[in-house]
Amino acid sequence: MITRLKASYGSGIRPLTYAGQEYMGVDRSLVPEILQVLRNDEQFDYCVDLTAVHYPKRERPFDVIWVLYSFARNQRIRVTTEIMDGESLTSSVPIWPGTNWLEREVYDMFGIEFDGHPDLKRILLPEGWKGHPLRKDYGILQQDQEWVQINLGIESGQ
């Protein structure tokens, strides 16, 4: 299937495999179309997970990963794309409503925005928190001291 997609999209798709698991790297501009094709034509009707990885030294520092599953094929596939800091992606909520909270979590933890998301706001951290904790430049003991002081009335959360 990946080879078939590769035939129609060319260099925009890079088939990858590791430990027997197939996944594909997709150019950011192709992502909305590929996800739509996977959902509608290839029967990947269940979006298992959506997450990101931060590589601060890379030119395009974020990997965003969709884990998809097809009940009809009993097959799992991952789609990954590389984006620049500050670049946004198209929301997949219209395709898989279940990605609503997953996109909010990626926004919360990495600061990646999704265009067209119905209600993009933080989910695990409180509104008004500064910083995105799963970025590599966010220290493990780092906190938004100001938020803690104002909202909890204590000097430090640690």
Residue 21 burial (CB count, 10 A): 10
Q: Is 105 in contact with 80 (CB distance < 8 Å)?
A: no
- Residues β-bridged to residue 22: 17
Among 10, 15, 21, 146, binds other proteins (CB under 8 A): 21
Tokens 């150019």 belong to which residue? 27
CB nearer other proteins, residue 10 or residue 40: 40
Alpha helices in the chain (DSSP H): 2-9, 31-40, 99-110, 145-152
Nearest distance, CB of residue 93 and other proteins, angstroms: 10
Token pair, residue 150, equals 């104002």
Which positions from 86 to 115 touch other proteins by CB under 8 A, shown as an x/- string?
Answer: ----------xxxxxxx------x------
Selected from 11, 74, 156, 158, the binder of other proteins by CB under 8 A is 74
156 counts as binding other proteins under rule CB under 8 A: no
At 140 the three-state DSSP class reads coil
Integer Cα distance of 102 and 92 in angstroms: 10
- Rule CB under 8 A: is residue 22 a binding residue for other proteins? no
Q: Which of residues 28-67 bind other proteins (CB under 8 A)?
A: 45-49, 51, 53-54, 65, 67
Q: Say which residues have a Cβ less than 8 Å from residue 152's Cβ, sequence separation at least 6.
A: none
Contact positions vs other proteins (CB under 8 A): 18-19, 21, 45-49, 51, 53-54, 65, 67, 71, 74, 76, 78, 96-102, 109, 122-126, 133-134, 138, 140
